[in-house]
Amino acid sequence: MAARQPFTDSDAADEAVRTTCDDATTCKRFATSQGYWKDLHIHYFVRNVGERKAPEINRGYYARVKGVNLLLDEFIKKTECKCQIINLGAGLDTMFWRLKDENLLPQKLFEVDFPAVVAKKIHNIKTKPPLSKPIIDMHSTDSLLLDAHNLDSDRYCIVGADLRDISSLDEKLKKFHLNPELPTLLLSECVLVYMTPSQSSNLVHWAAETFHTAMFINYEQKDRFLTTGWDHADALDMMTVYSMLPQQDVARIELLEFLDERELLQQLLQHYCICWASKDKLSLGKRTLVLYF
């Protein structure tokens, strides 16, 4: 029997990163329970609403979810669903079920996260028919793979992998039929910040080298993309994004809870930004691949 590897500072750091998955899902669960946006499947991953979150936190998540979804949905519509999505550090995200319900499912959606996070998500899918049935319904053969750390179907794939190990990540994705020729959207929400600059640059460079028509959405400075093979990059702070969301819906959510100090919300949102980078060999169009807002 092989000796157990000693617990290291790196192990502790990785565990701290994994806990952010639960924290983010819990915050989203509370915000949706208050009516900020609809998510019909998040309660299958987090049963209890949990303790009340501050209004500025809820509005921050609202801006983040809506901003990312606007870019994501526009990309899918522009390609007429003939694309693939890679959600890096996906956690317990419910993207697959939302896109299926809205008839926006791409040719294939890939999700990647630590094996421990993936195992938790797959367990929920296995044991909850409202999660598993849509996956089975969209699968056309008997080759559905569903084990502890991987799920692979015609339209949805979940991979347990370490984003710092590029060669292993590339091998696993290609094993599950990643197609470099398809227009590809890569999404990384609050992931690269937990990697070293060289590790995150390697990941971004791999994406630029692998796909000729692609978009990368991330909370990060844009300079990283311009030095790793992407043709264009741009960014907006989240306060600007918040001000550019459909104002009728913003007015609706601002009535949900009283915000004592709007300055706190401004400080929070100005601290973060949404960045997107693009390559456009197939000429999908500047509106989608460069700037939606």
Residues of each annotated binding site for S-adenosyl-L-methionine? 64, 89, 162-163, 189
Task: Give the three-class secondary structure for 149.
Answer: coil
Cα 275 to Cα 150: distance, rounded to the nearest angstrom: 29
Cα 244 to Cα 247: distance, rounded to the nearest angstrom: 7
Cα 194 to Cα 6: distance, rounded to the nearest angstrom: 22
Binding residues: 64, 89, 162-163, 189
Q: How many CB atoms lie within 10 A of CB 137?
A: 11
Task: Retrieve residue 212's tokens.
Answer: 């000729």
Provide the CA 192 distance to its chain's centre, in angstroms: 12
Residues composing the chain: 293
What are φ and ψ of residue 159, in 5° steps?
A: -125, 130
